[in-house]
Amino acid sequence: MIKKNTLTLHSLSVSKDSRTLISVDTEVKPGSITTIMGPSGIGKSLLLAAIAGVLPATFTQNGSVCYDGAELTALPAHKRRLGILFQDPLLFEHMNVAQNIMFGMPQNELSKQQRADTLLADVGLQGYGQRAVQALSGGQQARVALLRTLASAPRAVLLDEPFSKLDMQTRHQTRCWVFDNIRQQGLPCIMVTHDEDDALDAQGPVITITQPEQDTDKLC
Amino acid sequence: MFSTALLVSRWLFIALLIVPVGAGIVAVLLPALSYFPAIGEHHFSLAAFSRLMQVDSIVHMAMLSLFTGLMATFIATVGTLSILAISYHTAMLGWVQRLLSPVLVIPHAAAAIALGFILSPAGWPARLVSPELSGWIAPPVVSLLHDELGLSVTIALAIKALPFMLLMALSVLAQPHLADRLQKQVCVARTMGYTPATAFLSVVWPVLYPLIRLPVLAVLAFATANVEIPLILGPGSPPTLAVAVLQWFNNVDIFMRLQASAAACLHIGVTGLAIIIWLLIEKGAAALFHRRRCTGARNFASWWLSVIAYFTLGTLILLMLCMLISLVTWSFATYWPFPDTFPLGITLIHWQTSLTALSQPALNALLIALPVSVIAVGLSLLVLEQEQISHRATVSPGLKKEAVLFLPLLVPGVAFLFGLTWFSQFIGAGVWLPVLVSHFVYVLPYVFLSLAVAYRRFDIRYTYVGYGLGASPYDVFWKVKLPQLFAPIMVALALGIAISFSQYLPTLLPGAGTIATVTTESVAVSAGGSRRLSAVYTLVQMIMPLIGFALAWWLPLRFFNPAAWSD
């Protein structure tokens, strides 16, 4: 049976020189946030890169990524429609705020400008559309980055340690806001992090990656 | 479609560097071996070489090329080392960089002519000390110009080489991971009691030097084989080997061309020898440094490095100031008898005459520089994009490609440009295409190196975000990367235009002397009598590239910058 709007990783693994770095087999339901936990340097970000289709050529991947039962692995990155958010907002600095949000909107979408303005107003940034992105605060940029991703109507959202650069005060607030939005939109989401609090707030399944036994000595 | 274009661009890039140089070398080797059907020479022989060896001063000429090249490179390297040693991680470094960057884009010919202005017996410095201090009431008979040892040539070469090396070193030191590591290592050395300069010499320089060795060797090869500087400042009889090649090539006796070709081949050997000597000097210096480092002296060479650094900087600034003041004063001067410090009156007539005479050469220079630079920038961008998309950058930083880049800079231009000229005359390619190709071969390496720094520093995650938003690789390249890299692209374009403007031999030879640019005209005028016209021509030569850089600085403020439109 094919489950609607579900992202599935079928024994997806990343290896280098025939040594497996990380391997995950899971199913992410719509509106649920699966957390992949583990110490830094273990290859969590590589796993996200493999899902998004941007794994560097020095690594190899096995297994597959499926959405609604259809395999995404064969598609190039830009056809997978998996929105990705990093710890930096990475807003395009040559575009203003509204242009950033419109960049990812589907081509047939009518009145993009109007929709961007509405989206901004919904998150308390009314009138910010024409501003330069550099003029926004860190928290505001993070919000625009999520709006940009959501406006592109992605199949799923990938979060790569998205809150690690925010300060303690805004972190919890931004985190809850991001998770609420993802849940409201019913999007499956995978987050990699080493922060326990991220996993707590995500209220979803947690996959903990530990160092493979034989490598512990070498890496410590 | 886009990925095919990227792949093609990579091969085109390598081919466009190798083919002209390769064809040029082959085409100069054949006449050197007396195979030249156009004048009825069908048999290979070493006759041209044996005739060359009978030229009285041939060894002298070769030694002169060797000496000026090695000395200039040595001065520039020691200058770079000492300036970096005293200014690394101080505010002075930015100041030095801003000061020397404009010198980088001054054409070699312009620098040589300007230096000639102040070294000449009737030059401004001589006037300043006359007649009170020197007692001269007429210009002295002894002249620093055209000296037998080529010292003025060496100074001019060093003035141009130093900023280039320094900026190459700075671009290496700006690589984020390296900068961070070296800064901490210097910190460690400082806490152990080493002075800043000694810490730089023993911690940073051994890491830095191997990374700038190729540019240094390029400087050396260029300095041994440069034509316009010894033509303007060098001794006349005998001249440097490169100048002799040019004179024989232009001789009315067509058979002299065989000898010119043989001499061009000999020049490859001379340049090669210079490189070997340099590598030996490197080895010796490294062994010496190593021995001194082992003693653990905390202030080893510290004093010398500061003395040399301040002397070099001081001399450079003084020379630049004198050059500029002399040129400007001469360009407006009416009657100006020796030893007056200033002319009796000023006039605009020289500027009016020159600007009329220079309109066609300036147009020609633009007609060459614009297409060459635009194509070089476009091709470099495609190659860098290919490198980034195929994730090669993470494997090896395009090492092979970088070595190919230095090919036209390491082979003496005087050799392969002659060959290229032969070759294009042989296939009837006209004059414009060979000139464009020759300029391209020199412009591409600099444009690529300048763009590569910015391109490789571009955060790849922007690309991933773009893909996640559904933008194709082509869209990401065109709508995300290029606009964000607009400023460095404009700088690369301006650099390409400046390099093209400054080319003398690549315009003169393949153009068969029929295409006049500001630089070729300027060199021609400098040999003539009019100091005033020469001053204007040289100033125009300096101003033209600066206009390009001013635009490169201003355009990014207006375009792809939402901050300029919102308030």
The CATH number assigned to the domain holding B285 equals: 1.10.3720.10
Compute the distance between CA of residue B480 and CA of residue B171 in angstroms, rounded to an integer.
24
Do A218 and A183 contact (CB within 8 A), yes or no? Answer: no
Co-location of B292 and B178 in the same domain? yes
Q: Which two tokens stand for residue A162?
A: 């998205």
| CB atoms B464 and A49 under 8 Å | yes
pTM recorded for the entire structure: 0.87
Query: What percent of chain B is modeled with pLDDT above 90?
Result: 51
Query: Nearest CA of chain A to the CA of B475: how many Å?
Result: 10
Residue B567 has pLDDT above 50, yes or no: no
Question: What is the average pLDDT score of chain B?
Answer: 88
Task: Give the model confidence (pLDDT) of B11-49 as tens digits.
Answer: 899 899 999 999 999 988 888 888 877 777 788 888 888
| Residues near B426 by beta carbon (within 8 Å), at least 6 away in sequence | B27, B38
| CB atoms A54 and B459 under 8 Å | no
Task: Give the model confidence (pLDDT) of B180-210 as tens digits.
Answer: 888 888 888 888 888 889 999 988 999 999 9
Amino acid of residue B258 = L
| Whole-number pLDDT of residue B394 | 43
Counted across chains A and B, CB pairs separated by less than 8 A come out at 97
Co-location of B15 and B102 in the same domain? no
| Residues near B381 by beta carbon (within 8 Å), at least 6 away in sequence | B451, B455, B482, B489
Compute the distance between CA of residue A27 and CA of residue A66 in angstroms, rounded to an integer.
9
A92, A131, A149: residue with CB nearest B468: A149
Co-location of B126 and B21 in the same domain? no
Residue B395 has pLDDT above 70, yes or no: no
Do B201 and B301 contact (CB within 8 A), yes or no? Answer: yes
Co-location of B313 and B446 in the same domain? no
Co-location of B60 and B38 in the same domain? no
Residue B402 has pLDDT above 80, yes or no: no
| CB atoms B394 and A58 under 8 Å | yes
Do B155 and B312 contact (CB within 8 A), yes or no? Answer: no
Co-location of B40 and B54 in the same domain? no
Residue B396 has pLDDT above 60, yes or no: no
At residue B136, the 3 state secondary structure works out as coil
| Whole-number pLDDT of residue B450 | 87
Query: What percent of chain A is modeled with pLDDT above 90?
Result: 51
- Find how far residue B297's CA is from the centre of its chain: 37
Helix, strand, coil percentages for chain A (3-state, nearest 5): 35, 25, 40
Residue keyed to tokens 């500027």: B351
Give the domain-ending residue among B311, B342, B373.
B342
Mean pLDDT for the stretch of residues B265-294: 92
Residue B538 has pLDDT above 50, yes or no: yes
Query: Nearest CA of chain B to the CA of A151: how many Å?
Result: 9
CB contact, 8 Å: B480 with chain A? yes
Do A120 and A101 contact (CB within 8 A), yes or no? Answer: yes
| CB atoms B480 and A90 under 8 Å | no
Query: Nearest CA of chain A to the CA of B563: how many Å?
Result: 5
Closest CA to A145 of A32, A165, B472: A165
In 10 A of CB B102, how many CB atoms?
14
| Whole-number pLDDT of residue A2 | 57
A83 strand-pairing partners: A157
Residues of B in contact with A106 (CB under 8 A): 470
Residues 457-476 in B contacting A (C-alpha not used; CB under 8 Å) = 459, 461-473, 475-476
| CB atoms A104 and B566 under 8 Å | no
Q: Which residue of B has its CA nearest to A54?
A: B464
Co-location of B192 and B318 in the same domain? yes
| Whole-number pLDDT of residue A3 | 67
B392, B469, B562: residue with CB nearest A96: B562
Co-location of B322 and B364 in the same domain? no
Query: Nearest CA of chain A to the CA of B398: how many Å?
Result: 15
Mean pLDDT for the stretch of residues B101-115: 90
| Whole-number pLDDT of residue B566 | 52
More confident residue, A179 or B295: A179
Give the domain-ending residue among B284, B314, B342.
B342
Co-location of B147 and B259 in the same domain? yes
Residue B392 has pLDDT above 50, yes or no: no
Closest CA to B243 of B368, B60, B115: B60
Q: What residues make up the domain containing B3?
A: 1-45+350-567
| Whole-number pLDDT of residue B341 | 83
Give the domain-ending residue among B342, B366, B395.
B342
Residue B54 has pLDDT above 60, yes or no: yes
CB contact, 8 Å: A132 with chain B? yes
Closest CA to B300 of B163, B388, B193: B193
Choose the weakest-confidence range: B148-162, B219-233, B384-398, B486-500: B384-398
Classify residue B22 as exposed, middle or buried by CB count within 10 Å of its CB (0-12, 13-18, 19+): middle
| Whole-number pLDDT of residue B565 | 59
More confident residue, B146 or B274: B274
| Whole-number pLDDT of residue B393 | 43
At residue B456, the 3 state secondary structure works out as helix
The alpha carbon dihedral of B406, B407, B408, B412 has a sign of positive
Considering its fold, how many domains does chain B have in total? 2
A26 strand-pairing partners: A9
Domains of chain A, earliest start first: 7-208 (3.40.50.300)
Co-location of B61 and B12 in the same domain? no
In 10 A of CB B296, how many CB atoms?
11
| Whole-number pLDDT of residue B401 | 67
Compute the distance between CA of residue B63 and CA of residue B241 in angstroms, rounded to an integer.
8
Amino acid of residue B105 = V
Of the CA atoms within 13 Å of residue B531, those in its CB half-sphere come to 22
B463, B468, B565: residue with CB nearest A83: B468
CB contact, 8 Å: B184 with chain A? no
Task: Give the model confidence (pLDDT) of B423-453 as tens digits.
Answer: 888 888 888 999 999 999 999 999 998 898 8
Residues 169-198 in A contacting B (C-alpha not used; CB under 8 Å) = none
Write down the H helix ranges in B469-517.
Answer: 473-475, 482-484, 486-502, 505-508
Where does the pLDDT of residue B521 fall: very low under 50, low under 70, confident under 90, or very high at 90 and above?
very high
| Whole-number pLDDT of residue B390 | 77
| Whole-number pLDDT of residue A8 | 94
Where does the pLDDT of residue B256 fall: very low under 50, low under 70, confident under 90, or very high at 90 and above?
confident
Q: Which two tokens stand for residue A129?
A: 């559309």
Most A-contacting residue of B395, B467, B472 (CB-CB within 10 A), to test interface: B467
Residue ranges of chain A whose pLDDT lies below 70: 1-3, 211-220
Residues 76-95 in A contacting B (C-alpha not used; CB under 8 Å) = 76-84, 86, 88, 90, 92-95
Where does the pLDDT of residue B391 fall: very low under 50, low under 70, confident under 90, or very high at 90 and above?
low
A52, A132, A133: residue with CB nearest B468: A52
B475, B483, B566: residue with CB nearest A130: B566
State phi, psi for B177 to the nearest 5 degrees.
Answer: -65, -35
More confident residue, B75 or B565: B75
Co-location of B22 and B53 in the same domain? no
ipTM above 0.90, yes or no: no
Write down the H helix ranges in B390-431.
Answer: 392-395, 399-405, 407-410, 413-426
| Residues near B378 by beta carbon (within 8 Å), at least 6 away in sequence | none
| Whole-number pLDDT of residue B360 | 95
Co-location of B358 and B337 in the same domain? no
